[in-house]
Amino acid sequence: MESMLNKLKSTVTKVTADVTSAVMGNPVTREFEVGRHIASGGPGLCWRIYNGTKKSTKQEVAVFVFDKKMIDKYQKFEKDQIVDSLKKGVQQLTRLRHPRLLTVQHPLEESRDCLAFCTEPVFASLANVLGQWENLPSPLPSDIKEYKLYDVETKYGLLQISEGLSFLHSGVKMVHGNLCPENIILNKSGAWKIMGFDFSISSTNPSEAEPKYSCKEWEPNLPPLCLPNPEYLAPEYILSVSCDSASDMYSLGVVMHAVFNEGKPVFQVNKHDIFKSFSRQLDQLSSISPAVLNKIPEEVREHVKMLLSVTSTVRPDADQMTKIPFFDDVGAVTLQYFDSLFQRDNLQKSQFYKGLPKVLPKLPKRVVVYRILPALTSEFVNPDMVPFVLPNVLLIAEECTKEEYIRLIMPDLTPVFKQQEPVQASNMILLIFLQKMDLLLTKTPSEEIKNSVLPMVYRAVEAPSVQIQELCLNIIPTFANLIDYPSMKNSLIPRIKSACLQTSSLAVRVNSLVCLGKILEYLDKWYVIDEILPFLQQIPSREPAVLMGILGIYKCTFSHKKLGIPKEHLATKSLPHLVSLSIDNNLNLNQFNSFMVVIRDMLTRMETEHKTKLEQLHIMQEQQRSINISNPGHPPEETKGPPSSGNQIDDIFSSSGVNGKENGSAAAAPQPNRMSLTLEEKQRLAKEQEQAAKLRNQQPLAPQSVKPANTSNTKTKDLTSSLLNNMTSLNSLSLANSPRPAPVQGTTMSAFPSPGPMVGSMGASVSNGFNPPMGFQTGGMGMGMGMRPTGPGLYGGMATTTSTPNFGALSQNQGPMGQTSKAPDLSALDSLFSPSQPKVTLNQMGPKPTPGTNTPWISQFGAAQNAQTQMQGAPVGMGGVPSGFGMQANPFFSPQNFAQPAAPSLNQSGVKHSASVNNDLKDLFG
């Protein structure tokens, strides 16, 4: 690891030293920051190319530097010739302005150690791309080493060079004189540009006359940098010391050969015997072998052969070359059109941008990203063109990596997110962005999503255009998982609710409900219960589609394993709302059945959950009672819940063992060994026996009479009729309230009390059809009548213990209409336990129903066995809950669950039906 760090440090130090030594003191460094060495170009690749930025504007540039140390081996006059030649080339390039020529940003500056000038950003020279790596940094940049030209790049590049030559020959009457791969520069966008005008020749004739060029004789003794590249020179340069525009066309032919042959020219030239080499070359060109051109594409092979002709008049000129079919490639034409966009009006541009998405997939990614994308993003300054350019930019973004998207696309998209003028263009932009929202949220950084993307979504939900609102509501569920929860809860959901309540479009209202239904799974339970379900009751319209949307949200919340609706909410809010909606006259039969299925499911679960709770409470009470019975020598412990026995006498008899001794039905309680007892224990035992003897001999205890609210005493009624009256009134009270949970399945009502304490199989919580909150204390027997133990012989020698119900508590119960009922007249109970009252058997205590009739009091016990079959056809509440929540469980993803009525429903709330609502509802609800 340390060696790697040292190597990296040495490399950085070397590069920094090279840059410092090369550019130090040059005036270019005053205005430009010089970066790393990236490429080389110019005659003999003598110019080192660095990336750089302008200090004042941060504009990116390329800095060309010629280090004079490279020519230290030459004599002074040779050095001067080389420097003068290079200066001439840069000065000529600076004066010429054309899209096909390299653009100079800062003119040539000379210092004691170097020459330097700045141009547009550059990638490399064509010679570097074709494998000539002289004067490049070490190690070799990987982007140059691995660079391969695509066909469209080659075609359009050669077309650009032809157009550049056409400008020189026809526009400025100039011959380049040294056209070769070293003098062809690929800029950062991939465009091919001409430079290296060191040996250019201008016409000596006036501009209106035929151009005439004077050529210098070849001087082999000059340094190579003072001579053009002989491998790309036309034969007439050397053999006849003449040249014209056709000479450049010969050079173009050799460049085309080199491009298709890995950078190799047509012939290798012996620079030490140049004249002999060109004489041999002339003979070969006269009868050029097909093998020389076999790697050149067939459609351009004949044109290259003509360019390489010995006779200059046979060679096509630059303007003719730009029109050959070889360049009629879709990609080349597209790139050419981009280069001429500044000449087009908005109508022509819009037509071109509309057809561009069909062409982009056919082009290489590098060409699209670095050549086409910058041209597209430059159009964002024209608001009217943004709707036509944006789809193409987003199409390119799909093929980019996240890093490329952030670096190349997002900075230009950020202002577009916020564009609101002109309104028509702004609406189009919203629609386009909404269709590509998954792309934006996937590749845009979270901070930029909060600042730019989500505000645009909020603006779309609140847009005045119904079409935009519908599209936005339909698209939101597709990317809801990418929205952070606080933004969804605090910003998105309130806007959807507002759109649903305030819109005058049925389609928007329905889509709002569908949208909420689909994103429920991304919300937490209590937010849904507190914010979403109450909102449903605020929706004013009663169209069938709206009602089915409301039902769908209830069903989703009720069925979802993460959400769910508590039974308290079901009983007090959800079920009353759904029941009232289910009988709406606009619903058809299928829709009504859908409501009833959900309502039955809710009732079943509510019944199951509440019954389970009561059963658990009953079990706890029985366990506590068993503990009290199993410890006869100790008084029952106080419990916070309702007592297992409402009669203190039961507790005394049970704890002392008197009942078991007198009845003879149980073995006598074992007596402790008196010899082993202490004095205190003997005294306590004697006291307990004395108390038990008094209880056996005394008359039955009469409870204190209950003072009724009415002070006037009435004549004592018969015991049976009084009890029946009270039972009937109590039963009516219970039936008027919410439905009671069914008794435990399988319980029966015994005709006679069981021996011992009467707990039986009825259970405390369902002993008489009333729950403990109704005012009863849970007793051992389910008939609601209190009896004391009567001693042996009664009911066949069995002692019975029951509890006394608290009838007085009934005076606080509410009637069916919420009014306080009057206290019942209980004066008949005053003599219930008096010594003179004859004993009443259990059969006499109950009413004798008339044959063929079924009283509510008796029917509630007879129906216990069928309690579980009352909801026939309803799915099981607990076991039938779908385990998942997605495309299958969510009714909003299964619209066939809801049926749309055949006839249009009456619009009760003034909601306007949009043109697309019928189709939307058909897709949503079948």
DSSP secondary structure of 789-856? ---TTTTTT--EE-----GGGGGG-B-TTSPBPPPP--GGGGGTT-TTSPP--HHHHS--PPTT---H
Distance from C-alpha of 306 to C-alpha of 313, rounded to nearest angstrom? 10
130 has a pLDDT exceeding 80? yes
Question: How many residues are recorded in the chain?
Answer: 926
Cα distances from 236 to residues 240, 264, 320, 647, in angstroms, run 5, 21, 22, 134
Report the C-alpha gap between 617 and 772 in whole angstroms. 11
User: pLDDT confidence of 635, banded at 50, 70, 90?
Assistant: low
Whether residue 571 contacts residue 606, with contact meaning beta carbons closer than 8 Å, is answered with yes
Distance CA 578, CA 574 (A): 6
Question: Hunting for tokens 């003997």 — which residue is that?
Answer: 682
Give 241's contacts (C-beta < 8 A, 6+ positions apart): 215, 216, 217, 218
Whole-number average pLDDT of the chain = 75
> Model-level pTM?
0.61
607 vs 420: which has the higher pLDDT: 607
Omega before 139 cis (within 30°)? yes
- Give the residue among 154, 138, 159 at the shortest CA–CA distance from 14: 138
- Cβ neighbors of 280 (< 8 A, separation 6 or more) are none
- Crossing angle for the helix pair 454-461 and 493-502, nearest 10 degrees? 10
Residue 716 is given by DSSP the state P
Confidence bin at 267 (pLDDT 50/70/90): confident
- 673 has a pLDDT exceeding 80: no
Parallel, antiparallel or unpaired: strands 800-801 and 756-757: parallel
Residue 417, CA atoms < 13 Å, CB-side half-sphere:
22
Say if strands 756-757 and 114-119 run parallel, antiparallel, or are unpaired. unpaired
Helix axes 346-359, 386-399, angle to 10 degrees: 20
Confidence of residue 841 (pLDDT cuts 50, 70, 90): very low
Confidence of residue 3 (pLDDT cuts 50, 70, 90): low
- Pull the structure tokens for residue 639: 């419990």
pLDDT, one tens digit per residue, over 492-518 is 999 999 999 988 889 999 999 999 999
Sign of CA dihedral 205, 207, 210, 216: positive
Contacts with 666 (C-beta within 8 Å, 6 or more apart), sequence order: 659, 660
Q: 779-800, pLDDT tens digit by residue?
A: 333 333 334 343 433 333 333 3
DSSP 123: E
Hey, what are 206's tokens? Answer: 């006036």
Contact status, residue 436 vs residue 394, Cβ threshold 8 Å: yes
Amino acid identity, position 366: R
Segment 71-112, tens digit of pLDDT:
999 999 999 999 999 999 999 999 999 999 999 999 999 999
Evaluate whether 50 touches 29 at the Cβ level (below 8 Å).
no
640-645 contacts at long range (C-beta below 8 A, 24 or more positions apart): 641/617, 642/764, 642/772, 642/777, 642/778, 643/777, 643/778, 644/764, 644/778, 645/757, 645/779, 645/780, 645/801, 645/803
DSSP conformation class of 101: B
Q: Give the mean model confidence (pLDDT) for residues 476-496.
A: 88
Q: Note the pLDDT tens digit of each residue in 439-476.
A: 988 898 888 888 888 888 888 888 888 888 898 998 88
- Nearby residues of 283 by Cβ (< 8 Å), 6 or more positions away: none
Higher-pLDDT residue of 669, 160: 160
Whether the pLDDT of residue 539 is over 60: the answer is: yes
What was the pLDDT predicted at 638?
Answer: 44
Looking from the CA of 181 toward its CB, the CA atoms found within 13 Å total 26
Cα 436 from chain centroid?
12
3-state secondary structure at position 757: strand
Q: What percent of the chain has pLDDT over 90?
A: 43
Give me the pLDDT at residue 158, please.
96
DSSP string for residues in 31-68: HEEEEEEEEEESGGG-EEEEEEEETTT--EEEEEEEEG
- Taking the C-alpha atoms of residue 701 and residue 488, their distance in angstroms, rounded to an integer, is 70
95-99, 383-387, 633-637: which range is least confident on average?
A: 633-637
One-letter amino acid of 902 = A
Mean predicted confidence (pLDDT) in 802-816 = 39
Pair 152, 219: CB distance under 8 Å: no
Helix, strand or coil for residue 672?
Answer: coil
pLDDT of residue 798: 38
Say what the pLDDT of residue 450 is.
85
Instruction: Please write the tens of the pLDDT for every residue from 294-319.
Output: 999 999 999 999 999 999 999 999 99
Q: How many CB atoms lie within 10 A of CB 211?
A: 19
Write down the pLDDT at residue 308. 93
Q: Which are the contacts of 712, defined by CB distance < 8 A and separation ≥ 6?
A: none
* CA 741 – CA 873 distance, rounded (Å): 19
H or E element at residue 496? helix 493-502
* Cα–Cα dist 543/554, whole Å: 17
422 preceded by a cis bond (ω within 30 of 0): yes
Using CB atoms within 10 A of its CB, is residue 860 exposed (0-12), middle (13-18) or buried (19+)?
Answer: buried
